[in-house]
Amino acid sequence: MINIRLEFRDDIKSLRDFFNESERYYVVYDSNVKQFISEIFSNDIPCFEIKSVEENKSIDTVMDICRWLISMEADRDVILVAFGGGITSDVTGFAASIYKRGVRYLNLPTTLLAQVDAAIGGKTGVNVDSFKNMVGTFKQPESTIICPVFLKTLPAKQILSGFAELLKTFIITSEENYNECVKSISSGLPVWEMTSLICKAAQAKADIVSKDEFDKDLRRVLNLGHTYGHAIEWYEHTNDVENPMTHGEAVAIGIIAAANESFARGYCDESFIDTLVSDFQKCGLPVKSPYPNGVLISAIRQDKKGMNGQLHMILPVGFEKIVID
């Protein structure tokens, strides 16, 4: 068991106090959160801006961060801070795992998706051509600091994307939290007021990772919906689809696809699929792929979860019960 450290903060002011500690922080931030930089970090903390678009989730961006650290003469006792969404934590964590053979880093996630998933658990990675997360490392952050106040400035589409990962975590870990989450989302409660659900989802993910850091067994359940979801993202990317889905929207469709596969293999009841479909629709999430199944198969074959010619299907049997087939 490893200890995954999470910290929860209610306001931005307390972050300023946190980063006043006598550590040598180097901040990599997403251009979308530039407005918070001077509020949180004092002028003497070096900052490096990246643009968090999928094309920049690349080894080139990781190298740009390393070149910046070299130019700043950063030595091995610095702490990198990934301030932004999942792309920022992926490239910063990757850079932290290789710069001078490894330096410490901290995640300060600003999107819902990163606060409940991407910034927790130490998976770092970049895309290779159109294949997602093909190259990466495991590098645990010193801590992930979760401050839901950042979500006030998040576009609605990105919030929706995070809802899919929130629901995914609760399908896996808690029917009670899942129901509360569906109720909160469908009633229109602002996401930054869902602090307790965000904390519970983040903790649930941390608990799973602490038992299987290297994704050999239990942690794989967190990929629920991702095999099909990644295939949709790959298809949209390679076909230059206009207005592509967010990661969470693709995962939502992937969860329903996984439930259908589970039913076809005799693992779950049809009523479970109906519940998920109805709840996802209430939350504004898509449930059906607009693309023909056949075109997604080759992408699924490339999925990194396929090992020794076999693909691990993450199939829901019901709430809090997943099989890996």
Which residues here bind ligand GLY, judged by CB under 6 A? 117, 121, 123, 215, 219, 222-223
- End-to-end, the C-alpha distance of the chain in Å comes to 25
DSSP 139-206: ---S-EEE-GGGGGGS-HHHHHHHHHHHHHHHHHH-HHHHHHHHHHHHTT--GGG-HHHHHHHHHHHH
Token reading at 264? 């076809």
Q: Give the nearest distance from C-beta 99 to ligand GLY in angstroms.
A: 22
- Nearest CB to ligand GLY, comparing residues 104 and 219: 219
Q: Give the nearest distance from C-beta 21 to ligand GLY in angstroms.
A: 28
d(CA 87, CA 105): 15
**Nearest residue to ligand GLY on Cβ basis:** 222
Q: Give the nearest distance from C-beta 205 to ligand GLY in angstroms.
A: 7
Q: DSSP class of residue 244?
A: P
d(CA 132, CA 302): 10
Nearest to 80 by CA among 314, 206, 72: 72
d(CA 296, CA 235): 7
Q: Give the nearest distance from C-beta 17 to ligand GLY in angstroms.
A: 29
- Nearest CB to ligand GLY, comparing residues 180 and 215: 215
Q: List C-alpha distances in Å: 192 to 8, 129, 151, 184, 199.
A: 13, 35, 6, 11, 11
d(CA 197, CA 8): 12
- Nearest CB to ligand GLY, comparing residues 32 and 124: 124
- Nearest CB to ligand GLY, comparing residues 165 and 236: 165
Q: Give the nearest distance from C-beta 208 to ligand GLY in angstroms.
A: 8
Q: Give the nearest distance from C-beta 121 to ligand GLY in angstroms.
A: 4
Q: Which amino acid is at 146?
A: I
Roughly what angle, to the nearest 10 degrees, separates helices 247-264 and 270-282?
Answer: 160
Q: Give the nearest distance from C-beta 184 to ligand GLY in angstroms.
A: 22
- Nearest CB to ligand GLY, comparing residues 142 and 215: 215
- Nearest CB to ligand GLY, comparing residues 18 and 200: 200
- Nearest CB to ligand GLY, comparing residues 1 and 242: 1
